[in-house]
Amino acid sequence: MRRVLVYCCIFILLTFVGADYIYAHSGRTDSFGCHNCYTDYCYGEYHCHNGGYLPNYDYTPTYIQTPQAPNLYAKYTFTPNPDGRTFNVEFDWDDTPNTGYSIALNKYAGADPGPLTDTNVSKWIFYKVTPGIHYANLKVGIDYTWSTVTYWKIEVPKWYPPPIIAPTPISKPPVNSTSGTDWLPLAIFGIVAITIFWVIIYLLLKFVQWFIEYVKKHGLV
């Protein structure tokens, strides 16, 4: 009886030890009868149990090609600020079919302006830019994929005061009055008219006087 108990204990011990050795790494298996092992000697392996098989994956990675930035012509203008040291730089470039523009001004040519869309129109204003050499770096969204970076060199001059715009003079309407020598022709015309009037009166009086004497002399009355 004692020997039977010893054999039973040995059998039970071997059963548990063997199971621990065999199944220490095992876990749930997938549809192929396989799984990832994270314990003991097989750590990090993907293997199969009970007739499972490794699936044959035919996988081809897809790479997103970065489109080339188009050749764009750009121009810029400076507007001095009243702070006495900076400019606002208005930047315009050729418009092109796009899904957005990303633009930034910094000290490095070709620097990435960032992943965000800044504008959908071909114009941008950089505010309070200090004198010196800067680079306008631009990416174009082409079918929702950013292009390579294109850039322009901008040399901001030393600050100068904004131009003073003189107010436009307002002309006054002319005044209806005579001035200077405009009265002289009128005076001459008046004197001539008065002289002619009195000459006519004088001639009429002389005619009346002659007519009366003629009537008396010939006894017509």
Instruction: Single out the residue in 138, 156, 174 at which a domain terminates.
Output: 156
105 and 37 within one domain = no
91 and 146 within one domain = yes
31 and 92 within one domain = no
**Res 16: pLDDT:** 47
**Res 134: pLDDT:** 95
Q: What is the CATH number of the domain that holds 133?
A: 2.60.40.10
In a domain, 5, yes or no: no
Q: pLDDT by residue (tens digit) across 185-206?
A: 888 888 888 888 888 888 888 8
Tokens of 129: 């830019």
Enumerate residues 6+ apart whose C-beta is below 8 A from 99: 117, 141, 142, 143, 144
132 and 86 within one domain = yes
Rounded to 5 degrees, what angle do the CA atoms 15, 39, 47 make?
Answer: 90
pLDDT band at 174 (very low <50, low <70, confident <90, very high): low
Enumerate residues 6+ apart whose C-beta is below 8 A from 118: 100, 101, 102, 103, 104, 124
Phi-psi region of 180 (alpha: psi -120 to 50; beta: other; left: phi over 0): left
> Residue 153 and residue 158: Cα distance in Å, rounded?
16
Tokens of 49: 């149990």
Is pLDDT above 80 for 136? yes
CA distance from start to end of the chain: 206
Neighbouring-strand partners of residue 47: 35
Query: Which domain does 41 fall in, by range?
Result: 27-55
**Res 220: pLDDT:** 65
Phi-psi region of 216 (alpha: psi -120 to 50; beta: other; left: phi over 0): alpha
Q: How many domains does the chain have?
A: 2
**Res 57: pLDDT:** 55
> Residue 16 and residue 31: Cα distance in Å, rounded?
28
Q: pLDDT by residue (tens digit) across 2-33?
A: 665 556 666 555 554 444 434 334 456 777 77
CB atoms within 10 A of CB 4: 8
In a domain, 114, yes or no: yes
33 and 97 within one domain = no
Q: pLDDT by residue (tens digit) across 37-84?
A: 656 656 556 667 766 666 665 556 566 788 999 999 999 999 999 999
**Res 18: pLDDT:** 44
pTM over 0.75: no
**67, exposed or middle or buried, with CB in 10 Å at 0-12, 13-18, 19+?**
middle
Determine what percent of the chain is predicted with pLDDT higher than 90.
Answer: 39
